[in-house]
Amino acid sequence: MPVVINGRNQIANKPSNEGRETFTAVNPRTKQTTPYAFFNAITTEIDQAVRAATDAFAQSRHFSAHKLAEFLDQVAAEIENLGDQLLHTADEETGLGIPRLTGERGRTTGQLRKFGELLREGSYVDAIIDTAQPDRQPLPRSSIRRQLFPLGPVAVFSASNFPFAFSVAGGDTASAFAAGCPVVVKAHPCHPATSELFAHAINRAIEQLDFPAGFFSLIQGNTIEVGQTLVTHPGIAAVGFTGSLRAGRAIYDAAAARPIPIPVFAEMGSVNPVILLPNAVAERGDNLAAGLVQSLTLGSGQFCTNPGLVLMVKSPETDAFIKNVAEKMNAQSPGVLLNGSIEQGLANAVATTVKRPFIQTHTGGEVVAGDSFCYANTVLQTSAAAFCNDPLLQEEHFGPVTLFVVADSMGELETAVHALHGNLTATIHAAESDLNAAQTLLMDLKETVGRLIWNGFPTGVEVSHAMQHGGPYPATTAPATTSVGMTAIKRFMRPVAFQDVPDALLPPALQDANPLNIWRIVDGDWSKQRI
Amino acid sequence: MPVVINGRNQIANKPSNEGRETFTAVNPRTKQTTPYAFFNAITTEIDQAVRAATDAFAQSRHFSAHKLAEFLDQVAAEIENLGDQLLHTADEETGLGIPRLTGERGRTTGQLRKFGELLREGSYVDAIIDTAQPDRQPLPRSSIRRQLFPLGPVAVFSASNFPFAFSVAGGDTASAFAAGCPVVVKAHPCHPATSELFAHAINRAIEQLDFPAGFFSLIQGNTIEVGQTLVTHPGIAAVGFTGSLRAGRAIYDAAAARPIPIPVFAEMGSVNPVILLPNAVAERGDNLAAGLVQSLTLGSGQFCTNPGLVLMVKSPETDAFIKNVAEKMNAQSPGVLLNGSIEQGLANAVATTVKRPFIQTHTGGEVVAGDSFCYANTVLQTSAAAFCNDPLLQEEHFGPVTLFVVADSMGELETAVHALHGNLTATIHAAESDLNAAQTLLMDLKETVGRLIWNGFPTGVEVSHAMQHGGPYPATTAPATTSVGMTAIKRFMRPVAFQDVPDALLPPALQDANPLNIWRIVDGDWSKQRI
């Protein structure tokens, strides 16, 4: 039975429309508004949501990892229970297409279940135990035992480009829930009905498992004020955000200016440099061109890991390669963009770039007029010298656009690598005979990115233990953390040490008997043994 | 042979006095200036220091853990080589006394060597490996391998109250060096000669082990501008700070407002609530009073973990206990304070508090006139009701001062606990018969502190694997981290993931053979095995 979209905020499992302002979403394939109106949340509603989250936290901070794992599994099941309605609603609001959305749904439910596995294994609390040394001279040593605990209510800002995996029940929410933190989601205004469906699924899981209603709320809104009110609410302990540099920085600034500042884990823009070394191009240029175009046009180029910058060394092969990529880009029909503001933003960004000196446009560079939001697949080129002199050329073109940077020599390419700003990823394509050059580049690129990819493409971010989806500013505001992968949970936890606390009063993870059977660092060594 | 104090900044192992302004330190026992003049660093000198640090980082980011461990050991040895000159210079500048300074020196060298042990063990890089699954359906899984790497040049702001352990070669510097990060220290202007001696020791270690000169610089200065210039320099990647809330917040704000914001790990004020449960007071009130007074007067009360707030339940025993503490405080000669600004700050803070309604002064509450900076050992009292209504009563009195908060009932005491702001520590003293009440309090206190102490006192912070010396704002600006203990190193590191990178190009910690023989998480389980 399909869910009836009511267009309201969902505050602690109750629909709420105290405000008067509404907004609508637009189908990017038709530029027509979708049939529902959504209520902008007002301050009192945001306050209710955060207060309910605070109340919920008084309970959820005591929940066992197993209880939280069951909840994550239930949320995954309830998302699946939304069935085709979810796919069609999201497709109508995003134009991403059913196959892609089906894949993204699997990723989203898979991610929730992976966090469930992490919780059941249990070692994620980072238990560290220094046993007492009562006979130590000159002073005895106390027993000190430390583990991570949940931080408190988390505000999550949804992304437009991943309506499932980085939205209402996406990575930020999944990792915050896994940590034991209640979540207040600010839905992305371009897919509000999709967001409401996810809220329905999460609320069903809350009912099924008798979780406190305030463990989750959904706030709708298409104004900056809604987000700012949420971030500056004293009850919010941390923020997860995926979106543009401008919006992410505004939220970071608001959080830093609070009387009690809070961390903002914002994943923002990235151009994801790809370096194609000469022998790799010579050996398998055609495969590389096909792979690059596929990565560039995935989701109409609207991936945070889109390869927006390609660095090469000047040669006839390089010229031929760029021509080949331009032809392939030109031959592929450009996809639908998520919304009018992305179309406009992309048009402005490319227009700014092509006005800079020494920029050549191989193909594209214009909005595609028609029923849909659409921008031509675009290939630009500049020299390494121009690139190094112009920081503006490192700004993101969010869409199916890449900028080739051609160096006169390997030395000049290395100079360009040194000039790179922070990015989520960097990629090197190399042949066996490029290994020496590659090693130096790899270690230099390491300084400015979160993930280094070898002979692959940056799009497609595995949800796994070792994944690092982050990087130095402006890629993120918190380069020591990741928004994808299992360590994402650490963003929403904080260590507390217990000194000489009797075993019976310690949390299970720190008790002598190790009743959770987890890995712990005991007196400096890893162990699952009891003490 | 004693070191000749030259009063200059020490920039990449070269004395520098490009500026014209100088300042002097004051002996707090005599209020007389000490014999040396020190040059305020000017902008060009700070720039030189950070540029040298950046150059040094290009080398040090490749240094092995063993090489860094040798360096830490050498710094410890060179500190010991300073001999009595260090103790006497520091005593003259701080008035802390030779016995305390001797102990603090041992703690400081011990801390450096403990980080050396951590590096030699090697697992601190948090290696996580997800092996490739080429046959996975629908898509193969890449090999993803992630570890921590050093962040870059770190600025360290020394504390006044620990001229060794939280100063030039203290915990922040030791953990940044251990991570592989160059350090630019802003010396505390109250012990500039002590700071110069430490710079000498570190520079000797740099020479002995042929480290790059820019791995360390010392900036002197008694103006706010010196610190602000350092924090806003684009070459600085992170900041460690120990000091007051006002200064820490100013640095945090400056760092957050940079074009590229950087993390500030500021450890600031704390009142460290101590809860004395009724049966503990009945059983061992006299021991508790003696222990409390000892903790309160340690280092003239100038510890970040000084127990500045004591919560009790009203009873005749409680009245007698407070009277006992007041008598003991009164009977003990007040110690010398570090400097005039601490004396003045303490006088202002206590004056502000005693002007609030419902405050009773049992003893002290005034500056002790004389040759030395000195403030009377002070005991204040208020009611839990007044405490809950007045956030100002949670502000720190930095010195030998404590405020008793007396609740009418256990319920009111719990309410007061709920009203507590962020603190470094909280302590519970309980008898066997108090355990039930204690358990609830312990779990509530956990939400607002970094360390919970059972039947002990908060002063004395063990340098160990599990230590958490941190806590929610205003105790620190980064509650997820610690400034004491082995995990302090993580503040200055950042993860990078390697995707499908050939084994020969991977850093040793991530190679199949596990040549460093470290603990790693491989496909979700801890192991030292090769893959």
What is the number of structural domains in chain A? Answer: 2
Do B277 and B413 belong to one domain?
Answer: yes
Reported as a single tens digit per residue, the pLDDT across B180-220 is 999 999 999 999 999 999 999 999 999 999 999 999 999 99
Do A92 and A209 belong to one domain?
Answer: yes
| Cβ <8 Å between A499 and B453 | yes
Reported as a single tens digit per residue, the pLDDT across B371-395 is 999 999 999 999 999 999 999 999 9
| Cβ <8 Å between B256 and A260 | no
Which pLDDT belongs to residue A138?
85
Do A290 and A249 belong to one domain?
Answer: no
Do B119 and B231 belong to one domain?
Answer: yes
Q: Is B388 a catalytic residue?
A: no
Sole residue written with tokens 């027993």: A143
Which pLDDT belongs to residue B523?
96
Q: Are A75 and A171 in contact (CB under 8 A)?
A: no
**Mean pLDDT for each 10-residue chunk of chain A (531 residues)?**
94 97 97 96 98 98 98 98 98 97 97 98 98 92 98 98 98 98 98 98 98 98 96 98 96 98 96 97 97 97 97 98 98 96 97 97 97 98 98 97 98 97 98 92 96 96 96 98 98 98 97 98 96 94
DSSP strand E in A408-467: where?
A: 423-429, 449-454
In a 3-state reduction of DSSP, which class is residue A476? Answer: strand
The partner residues of A183 in beta bridges, in order of sequence, read A154, A216
Task: Show Cβ contacts of residue B388 under 8 Å, excluding neighbours closer than 6 positions.
Answer: B415, B416, B419
Q: Is B304 a catalytic residue?
A: yes
Do B229 and B320 belong to one domain?
Answer: no
| Cβ <8 Å between A477 and B501 | no
Residue B228 belongs to some domain of the structure: yes
**Structural domain for A370, as ranges:** 273-454
Which pLDDT belongs to residue A125?
98
| Cβ <8 Å between B467 and A497 | yes
Residue A25 belongs to some domain of the structure: no
Set A181, A190, A304, A374: catalytic member:
A304
Interface membership of B33 toward A (CB under 8 Å): no
Do A262 and A310 belong to one domain?
Answer: no
- Give the one of A142, A253, A438 whose C-beta lies nearest to B456's C-beta: A142
Q: Are A112 and A504 in contact (CB under 8 A)?
A: no
CB pairs under 8 A between A and B: 190
Q: Which of B385, B419, B454 is the last residue of a domain?
A: B454
Q: Are A442 and B501 in contact (CB under 8 A)?
A: yes
Q: What is the H or E stretch that residue B428 is in?
A: strand B423-429
Q: Which of residues 61-100 of B touch A (CB under 8 A)?
A: 61-62
With beta carbons under 8 A apart, name residues in chain B contacting A245: none
Interface membership of B437 toward A (CB under 8 Å): no
Do A386 and A301 belong to one domain?
Answer: yes
Which pLDDT belongs to residue A139?
87
Reported as a single tens digit per residue, the pLDDT across B65-78 is 999 999 999 999 99
Task: Output helix, strand, coil percentages for chain B, rounded to the nearest 5.
Answer: 45, 20, 40
Residue B269 confidence class, pLDDT cut points 50, 70, 90: confident
Q: Are A311 and A275 in contact (CB under 8 A)?
A: yes
Which pLDDT belongs to residue A43?
98
Which pLDDT belongs to residue B1?
79
pLDDT at B422 over 90: yes
Interface membership of A466 toward B (CB under 8 Å): yes
Provide the percentage of residues in chain B whose pLDDT is more than 70: 100
Residues B276-303, mean pLDDT to the nearest whole number: 97
From A283's Cα to the closest Cα of chain B, the distance in A is 18
**Which has the closest alpha carbon to A202: A301, A100, A79?**
A79
pLDDT at B305 over 90: yes
With beta carbons under 8 A apart, name residues in chain A contacting B464: 130, 141, 144
From B200's Cα to the closest Cα of chain A, the distance in A is 29
Interface membership of A129 toward B (CB under 8 Å): yes
Residue A324 belongs to some domain of the structure: yes
Q: Are A120 and A69 in contact (CB under 8 A)?
A: yes
Which pLDDT belongs to residue B410?
96
| Cβ <8 Å between B464 and A130 | yes
Residue A232 belongs to some domain of the structure: yes
| Cβ <8 Å between B146 and A468 | yes
Which pLDDT belongs to residue B139?
87
Domain of B355, CATH number, reads 3.40.309.10
Residue A122 belongs to some domain of the structure: yes
Q: Which of residues 138-177 of B touch A (CB under 8 A)?
A: 139, 141-142, 144-146, 149, 151-152
Do A173 and A299 belong to one domain?
Answer: no
Going from the C-alpha of B317 to that of each of B275, B288, B321, B324, the distances in angstroms are: 15, 12, 6, 10
As a whole number, the mean pLDDT across chain B is 97
What is the DSSP secondary structure assignment for residue A7, as one 8-state letter? -
Interface membership of B455 toward A (CB under 8 Å): yes
Task: Show Cβ contacts of residue A361 under 8 Å, excluding neighbours closer than 6 positions.
Answer: A354, A378, A379, A380
Residue A278 belongs to some domain of the structure: yes
Set A196, A267, A396, A414: catalytic member:
A267
Residues B414-427, mean pLDDT to the nearest whole number: 98
From A422's Cα to the closest Cα of chain B, the distance in A is 10
Domain of B174, CATH number, reads 3.40.605.10
Residues B2-6, mean pLDDT to the nearest whole number: 94
Q: Are A274 and A441 in contact (CB under 8 A)?
A: no
Which pLDDT belongs to residue B296?
97
Do B109 and B251 belong to one domain?
Answer: yes
Interface membership of B531 toward A (CB under 8 Å): no
Do B209 and B307 belong to one domain?
Answer: no
**Which has the closest alpha carbon to B227: B244, B239, B235?**
B239
Q: What is d(CA B154, CA B61) in angstroms, rounded to the nearest whole number? A: 13
Q: Strand A423-429 relative to strand A449-454: parallel, antiparallel, unpaired?
A: parallel
User: Which residue in chain A has the smallest CA separation from B124?
Assistant: A524
Interface membership of A501 toward B (CB under 8 Å): yes
Residue B259 belongs to some domain of the structure: yes
Do B332 and B435 belong to one domain?
Answer: yes
- Positive or negative: CA dihedral B315, B321, B326, B327: positive
Do A259 and A375 belong to one domain?
Answer: no
pLDDT at B138 over 90: no
Which pLDDT belongs to residue B308?
98
Residue A377 belongs to some domain of the structure: yes
As a dihedral over the C-alpha atoms of residue A279, residue A284, residue A289, residue A295, rounded to 10 degrees, the angle is: -100
| Cβ <8 Å between A453 and B487 | no
| Cβ <8 Å between B505 and A438 | yes
Residue B43 confidence class, pLDDT cut points 50, 70, 90: very high
Set B304, B343, B388, B414: catalytic member:
B304
What is the DSSP secondary structure assignment for residue A334, as one 8-state letter? P
| Cβ <8 Å between A521 and B465 | yes
Reply yes or no: is the peptide bond before residue A163 cis, omega within 30 of 0.
no
Q: How crowded is residue A316: how many other Cβ atoms within 10 Å of its Cβ?
A: 7
| Cβ <8 Å between B466 and A504 | no
Q: Are B362 and B322 in contact (CB under 8 A)?
A: yes
